[in-house]
Amino acid sequence: LAKTTQPISMDSYEGQEVNITCSHNNIATNDYITWYQQFPSQGPRFIIQGYKTKVTNEVASLFIPADRKSSTLSLPRVSLSDTAVYYCLVGAGGYQKVTFGIGTKLQVIP
């Protein structure tokens, strides 16, 4: 299973763009990169998933370089409601023991 490393915490002011980078040096050919968001007292919620290059949806963008050994979740113009823990996962289809890790705690400051 590909291990992931991401910062434990980040602070950002409202209205700024936030980039959270996840390292996954031993990512396998079949692995996808998935990000989840978790608010206090709630279960995680899927944000975005990608395999290579760039993926964008209404919530975020995901940038994946050609070597796929890292990925960056980009949140445009964050608001206070974006304060949450963000998890990076790497894995493929089929059965795998799923590891969420500790995630990155993002604190948005007014």
Partner 1 sequence: GAGVSQSPSNKVTEKGKDVELRCDPISGHTALYWYRQSLGQGLEFLIYFQGNSAPDKSGLPSDRFSAERTGGSVSTLTIQRTQQEDSAVYLCASSPSPGTSREQYFGPGTRLTVT
The residues of the shown chain that bind partner 1, judged by CB under 8 A, are: 31-32, 34, 36, 41-46, 49, 87, 89-103
Strands 45-50 and 53-56 turn out to be unpaired
Q: Which is nearer to partner 1, 36 or 78 (CB)?
A: 36
Q: Which is nearer to partner 1, 16 or 30 (CB)?
A: 30
Q: Which is nearer to partner 1, 29 or 110 (CB)?
A: 29
Residue 109 pairs with which residues in a beta bridge? 13
C-beta of 46: minimal distance to partner 1 in Å?
A: 4
C-beta of 103: minimal distance to partner 1 in Å?
A: 6
Q: Nearest 5°: phi and psi at 82?
A: -85, -5
Which residue type does 67 have?
Answer: D
C-beta of 70: minimal distance to partner 1 in Å?
A: 17
Sign of the CA dihedral 82, 20, 55, 46?
A: negative
Place of tokens 């936030």: 18
Residue 102 pairs with which residues in a beta bridge? none
Separation CA 86–CA 56 (nearest Å) = 17
C-beta of 15: minimal distance to partner 1 in Å?
A: 28
Q: Which is nearer to partner 1, 102 or 109 (CB)?
A: 102
